[in-house]
Amino acid sequence: MWRGRDVITMRDFGRSELEELFETAKYMEKYAKSRVDFLKGKIMAVAFFEPSTRTRLSFETAMRRLGGDVIGFWGAEGTSVEKGETLADTIRMLDAYSNIIVIRHKLEGAAKLAAEVAESPVINGGDGAFNHPTQAMLDLYTIWREFGHIDGLNIGLMGDLRYARTINSLLEALANFDVRTFLISPEYLRPRAETLDYVKSRGLKLSFHTNVEEVIHELDVLYVVRVQRERFLDPLEYERVKGSYRVTLEILKKAKKHLAILHPLPRVDEIDHRLDNTPHAKYFRQAALGVPLRMALIYLILS
Ligand code: CP
């Protein structure tokens, strides 16, 4: 199901593929701090034109834990992109030097273009405000590991739901499961209409809310995203909304005991740091699971 596939958008992957990925990731957890030679002799190229801590480092760690090697760059500095080389030509070179390519780019559609140019599989590590499919896979994997299932859960998504690419991909991923989704944001930061139309057509149950306190008692999972300064054209608008959606100890008094708080990170101030030591805080475990999840992904595609 996975062999040789590009990973560009969540829409290309269904429930059975995700379940195979989760089972493989669980198997990989025991190797996430050691080294095996499942992919000895394979090379992964990383082309990160935008900043990243978790995605890039967990992909690199995953490939090295599997016995493979990594080449690539962060930012275009030092590459021939600075001399005006096109994205397509840069990808052609990475394709020639490696077995699999991971790309992050500020432009929506960059990963799709790379997949069209490259013969090797291409994985989208985030493009513009549109897609971050491996983050959505990781988000669902974390929920699956926490609860043992995804069906039947009440899942709140809170913050800037319009410009966060993780939200777009997560909604598309959730459409494979029988969950209730609570969208908590200012009205103008609701997810884009095209995404909402798609997930509604897949039968995802959605409701819209402007205040987390209205629904916190119903939630099993609260997935929080930051308000992204870089996505706003007007800095005053950013200043106006940035503090509106913040999880505090006070709000959690009404939450279920087992509420799991997830965040793709990095966070700014949308989660009170005092939450870090509560059983609700699952965001660091989520980031750590990025290694076995991405080990499973690379392994299934290349093995
Ligand atoms: N979650 C995520 O994509 O983090 P990075 O931007 O650090 O990769």
265 lines ligand 1 (CB under 6 A): yes
pLDDT tens digit string along 106-145?
999 999 999 999 999 999 999 988 899 999 999 999 999 9
User: Is 1 contained in some domain?
Assistant: no
Burial of 144 (0-12, 13-18, 19+ CB in 10 A): buried
Clarify whether 209 is annotated catalytic. Answer: no
142 lines ligand 1 (CB under 6 A): no
Taking the C-alpha atoms of residue 95 and residue 78, their distance in angstroms, rounded to an integer, is 19
Do residues 80 and 206 both lie within one domain?
no
What local confidence, expressed as pLDDT, does residue 246 receive? Answer: 87
24 lines ligand 1 (CB under 6 A): no
Mutate to test the pocket of ligand 1, among 46, 48, 55 (most ligand atoms within 8 A of CB): 55
54 lines ligand 1 (CB under 6 A): yes
User: Is 3 contained in some domain?
Assistant: no
Taking the C-alpha atoms of residue 133 and residue 41, their distance in angstroms, rounded to an integer, is 26
What local confidence, expressed as pLDDT, does residue 245 receive? Answer: 82
Can you tell me whether residue 163 is helix, strand or coil?
Answer: coil
Percent of the chain with pLDDT over 70: 97
290 lines ligand 1 (CB under 6 A): no
H helix or E strand, kind and range, residue 262: strand 260-262
Clarify whether 274 is annotated catalytic. Answer: no
Do residues 145 and 245 both lie within one domain?
yes
Taking the C-alpha atoms of residue 101 and residue 122, their distance in angstroms, rounded to an integer, is 5
pLDDT band at 230 (very low <50, low <70, confident <90, very high): low
Taking the C-alpha atoms of residue 301 and residue 134, their distance in angstroms, rounded to an integer, is 13
Do residues 88 and 174 both lie within one domain?
no
What local confidence, expressed as pLDDT, does residue 128 receive? Answer: 87
Token match 């909304």: residue?
241
Its sign, for the CA torsion 155, 157, 162, 163, is negative
Clarify whether 132 is annotated catalytic. Answer: yes
Do residues 89 and 146 both lie within one domain?
no
Taking the C-alpha atoms of residue 239 and residue 88, their distance in angstroms, rounded to an integer, is 37
What local confidence, expressed as pLDDT, does residue 244 receive? Answer: 63
What local confidence, expressed as pLDDT, does residue 58 receive? Answer: 98
- What average pLDDT does the structure give for the chain? 94
pLDDT tens digit string along 71-103?
999 887 888 888 889 999 999 999 999 999 999
User: Is 203 contained in some domain?
Assistant: yes
Percent of the chain with pLDDT over 90: 83
Clarify whether 231 is annotated catalytic. Answer: no
User: Is 264 contained in some domain?
Assistant: yes
Do residues 192 and 157 both lie within one domain?
yes
Do residues 276 and 172 both lie within one domain?
yes
Do residues 125 and 31 both lie within one domain?
yes
H helices within the chain, ranges in order?
15-28, 54-65, 87-97, 110-117, 133-147, 165-174, 193-201, 235-241, 249-252, 283-288, 290-302
Q: What is the CATH number of the domain that holds 214?
A: 3.40.50.1370
Total tally of structural domains belonging to the chain: 2
User: Is 102 contained in some domain?
Assistant: yes
What local confidence, expressed as pLDDT, does residue 302 receive? Answer: 98
Q: Please tell me the distance between residue 295's alpha carbon and the centre of ligand 1 in angstroms.
A: 17
What local confidence, expressed as pLDDT, does residue 163 receive? Answer: 87
User: Is 234 contained in some domain?
Assistant: yes
User: Is 4 contained in some domain?
Assistant: no
Its domain, for residue 178, covers: 133-287
Do residues 103 and 113 both lie within one domain?
yes
Taking the C-alpha atoms of residue 264 and residue 281, their distance in angstroms, rounded to an integer, is 12
| Residue 226 labeled ligand binder | yes
Task: Please report the atom of ligand 1 found closest to the CA of residue 50.
Answer: 6
pLDDT tens digit string along 256-297?
999 999 999 999 889 999 999 999 999 999 999 999 999 999
Do residues 120 and 151 both lie within one domain?
no
Do residues 81 and 150 both lie within one domain?
no
Taking the C-alpha atoms of residue 280 and residue 295, their distance in angstroms, rounded to an integer, is 26
pLDDT tens digit string along 36-67?
999 999 999 999 999 999 999 999 999 999 99
User: Is 170 contained in some domain?
Assistant: yes
Q: What is the ipTM of this complex?
A: 0.98
What local confidence, expressed as pLDDT, does residue 243 receive? Answer: 62
Rg (CA), the chain: 19
Least Cα distance to 245 among 190, 173, 181 occurs for 190
Q: Please tell me the distance between residue 53's alpha carbon and the centre of ligand 1 in angstroms.
A: 6
Clarify whether 145 is annotated catalytic. Answer: no
Q: Please tell me the distance between residue 115's alpha carbon and the centre of ligand 1 in angstroms.
A: 21
pLDDT tens digit string along 159-194?
999 989 999 999 999 999 999 999 999 888 899 999
Do residues 279 and 162 both lie within one domain?
yes
Which of 104, 105, 180, 263 is the catalytic position?
A: 104
Do residues 258 and 209 both lie within one domain?
yes
